[in-house]
Amino acid sequence: MSAETEVLDQLIEKSKPSEAAFSKRRKKLISDPLNDDNPITVQVLGICSALAVTTQMSPTLIMAISVVFVIVFANLIISLLRNLIPNRVRIIVQLAVIATLVTLVDQVLKAYFFDAWKELTVFVGLIITNCIVMGRLEAFALGNKPYDSILDGLGSGLGYAWIILAIAFFRELLGSGAVFGFKVFEAIGIESFPNNGLMVNPVGAFIILGLIIWVQRTKTGYVEQ
Amino acid sequence: MQQSNGYIIAFSAILTVILGGLLAFSAIGLKPMQDMQVALDTQKKILGAVMELKEGDDVPAIYEERIESLVVNAQGEEISEVDGAPVVAEDVEVGKQFKLSPEDRLYPVYKLKTQGGNQAEAYILPVYGNGLWDNIWGYIALENDLKTVKGVSFDHAGETPGLGARITSVDVQERFKGKKIYNEVGELVAVRMVKGETGDPSIYGENEVDGLSGATITAVGVNSMLESYLGYYKPYLEKVSGNAISQVNSESKELTFNN
């Protein structure tokens, strides 16, 4: 055995207990909820807010960031406390942590994004009952280490975020001819674009969400059991 | 041990104290900023009844320069203090006053002054009432003749999106511009939304505007809100227009005298 391989063996020994920061398994934690296991389109959770806040892009973006924030930090906190939380009261503990984070988000929005807050405050409050957040805490954070839990939360949060942003993009584009308030159709010279009133109603969100689910399931071949 | 009642109670108590403390700190820390935002929002609403605000406008500066506020009582007399405490128009919560009987309420008035001058260009009056599901409120701005509507801005707590909630939209609020609050024989009748919606503004008289299709009850709420509040402000409006008329008279008298 040469000295070189010995050093190599030692290195392997050392690296074994700590997994790479973005190992294959960890990447999957983030990427799975984006598509194959998307909380909205596959698990069909969090539909209420997906329909309610998506008439325009900018409030939707704020909602998406709020949900990502809440889900990541709730996952982290619950994961850190997972060995301390008494099993019999774990649901109420999860609820208390989520509610605190949501209230913080609501207060910060009120102080710094007042116009968005006026529009969103009802739905921000409803993040508390968003099944995605509690689902991740119960299914993942209670049984996994903090870092993995952060990644899992990030994945689920982003999976929620990109779907509602996609819905909002089509609803704002077709419903008010704009993206982030910027009048797209006027900018490219179509002055008389007829706004589709259906898109401004929640019905429009149902239709778009249905189309997204259809396209996605055609591609992934997912079939409901 | 972790499942014992004592542990659970202790754990819950500590968690409650930590989370509660966190929320209390954040609420106190963010309060000044939130109060500022609420004040700014009120100023935007008041100015919104008479002018179009653009993104990036320095709202507090415009407000400071153009708006003069005062508070009147049900007799139309200007009051500066209640029970020894000074009253500021911006701090009068119209929604809270709404719960008192009309004679006991305080009525804020916001005067829009001409640019650079001190003359009143418009009078902005807050209004408050009941919609279909919840309260509705807003501001109605009158030209300095105190008869013509310069603009309105409405808001609501819970009207149906796409139906009653349309009272906040610009195209509905535009309909009120230029309408008169007095009828031909000089009675205060306010401006009334008709039942049904035709989309044709030319068929309505000076005291009527197009209605809200599918939201008649919200429209009725708007009607009664405008009618009752203009009624409450009537003593003040008469006082001001009476002054204006007598001023004009005295001026013309002086002119004759000089001649």
Say yes or no for a CB contact (<8 Å) between B2 and A86.
yes
The helix-helix angle for A131-139 and A146-176 (nearest 10°) equals 160
Q: Does A203 touch chain B (CB under 8 A)?
A: no
Say yes or no for a CB contact (<8 Å) between A103 and B23.
yes
**Residue in B closest to A199 by C-alpha:** B162
Q: B26 CA to chain A: closest CA distance, Å?
A: 7
**For chain B, domain boundaries:** 46-258
- Assess: ipTM above 0.85: no
Regions in chain A scoring below 70 on pLDDT: 1-19
DSSP label at residue B89:
G
Domain annotation covers residue A148? yes
- Over residues B152-172, mean pLDDT: 82
Q: Does A121 touch chain B (CB under 8 A)?
A: no
Residues of B in contact with A114 (CB under 8 A): 37-38, 40-41
Say yes or no for a CB contact (<8 Å) between A110 and B30.
yes
The more confidently predicted of residues B203 and B14 is B14
Is residue A188 a contact partner of residue A173, using CB atoms and an 8 Å limit?
Answer: no
pTM flag (> 0.90): no
Say yes or no for a CB contact (<8 Å) between A114 and B41.
yes
Residues of B in contact with A200 (CB under 8 A): 162
Q: Does A104 touch chain B (CB under 8 A)?
A: yes
Q: Does B53 touch chain A (CB under 8 A)?
A: no
C-alpha span between B139 and B126 (Å, rounded): 4
Q: Does A103 touch chain B (CB under 8 A)?
A: yes
Q: Does B88 touch chain A (CB under 8 A)?
A: no
Q: Left if phi > 0, otherwise alpha if psi is -120 to 50, otherwise beta: which for A44?
A: left
A window 35-94, beta carbon within 8 A of B: 84-89, 92-93
Residues of B in contact with A111 (CB under 8 A): 30, 33-34, 37
C-alpha span between A197 and A37 (Å, rounded): 32
Q: Is the dihedral of CA A15, A18, A22, A28 positive or negative?
A: positive
What confidence score (pLDDT) does residue A47 get? 79
In this predicted structure, the answer to whether residue B53 has a pLDDT above a threshold of 50 is: yes
Q: Which residue in B69, B152, B62, B70 sits closest to B115, CA to CA?
A: B62
Among A200-204, B139-143, B158-162, the range of highest mean pLDDT: B139-143
The more confidently predicted of residues B159 and A159 is A159
Count chain A–chain B contacts defined by CB atoms under 8 A: 55
Say yes or no for a CB contact (<8 Å) between B37 and A197.
no
User: Into how many domains does chain A fold?
Assistant: 1
C-alpha span between A142 and A75 (Å, rounded): 8
Mutation target vs B (from A93, A128, A180; most B CBs, 10 A cutoff): A93
Is residue A74 a contact partner of residue A137, using CB atoms and an 8 Å limit?
Answer: yes
What confidence score (pLDDT) does residue A150 get? 92
Say yes or no for a CB contact (<8 Å) between A108 and B2.
no
Q: Does A197 touch chain B (CB under 8 A)?
A: yes
C-alpha span between A87 and A15 (Å, rounded): 34
Say yes or no for a CB contact (<8 Å) between A111 and B2.
no
Domain annotation covers residue A91? yes
Per-residue pLDDT tens over the stretch B64-119: 888 888 888 888 888 877 777 777 777 788 888 888 888 888 888 888 887 777 77
What confidence score (pLDDT) does residue B83 get? 76
Token pair of B150 as six digits: 């310069």
Report DSSP letters for A59-114, one per residue.
Answer: HHHHHHHHHHHHHHHHHHHHHHTTTTS-GGGHHHHHHHHHHHHHHHHHHHHHHH-H
Task: Name the residue among B12, B22, B40 with its Cβ closest to that of A89.
Answer: B12
Per-residue pLDDT tens over the stretch B188-218: 888 888 888 887 878 888 888 888 888 888 9
**Residue in B closest to A197 by C-alpha:** B162
Q: Which ranges of A113-183 does DSSP label H, i.e. alpha helix?
A: 114-125, 131-139, 146-176
What confidence score (pLDDT) does residue A12 get? 53
In this predicted structure, the answer to whether residue B233 has a pLDDT above a threshold of 60 is: yes
C-alpha span between A173 and A199 (Å, rounded): 9
What confidence score (pLDDT) does residue A201 get? 78
B window 15-44, beta carbon within 8 A of A: 15-16, 19, 22-23, 26-27, 30, 33-34, 37-38, 40-41
Name the residue type at position A130. Answer: N
Q: Does B56 touch chain A (CB under 8 A)?
A: no
Is residue A123 a contact partner of residue A205, using CB atoms and an 8 Å limit?
Answer: no
Alpha carbon separation from B243 to A84, A120, A151, B145, B249 (Å, rounded): 75, 47, 71, 12, 10
Residues of B in contact with A107 (CB under 8 A): 26-27, 30, 34
Percent with pLDDT over 70 in chain B:
92
What confidence score (pLDDT) does residue B259 get? 44
- Over residues B30-46, mean pLDDT: 87
Q: Which range of residues forms the domain containing residue A120?
A: 21-220
Which helix (H) or strand (E) segment is B36 a member of? helix B5-48
Say yes or no for a CB contact (<8 Å) between A88 and B11.
no
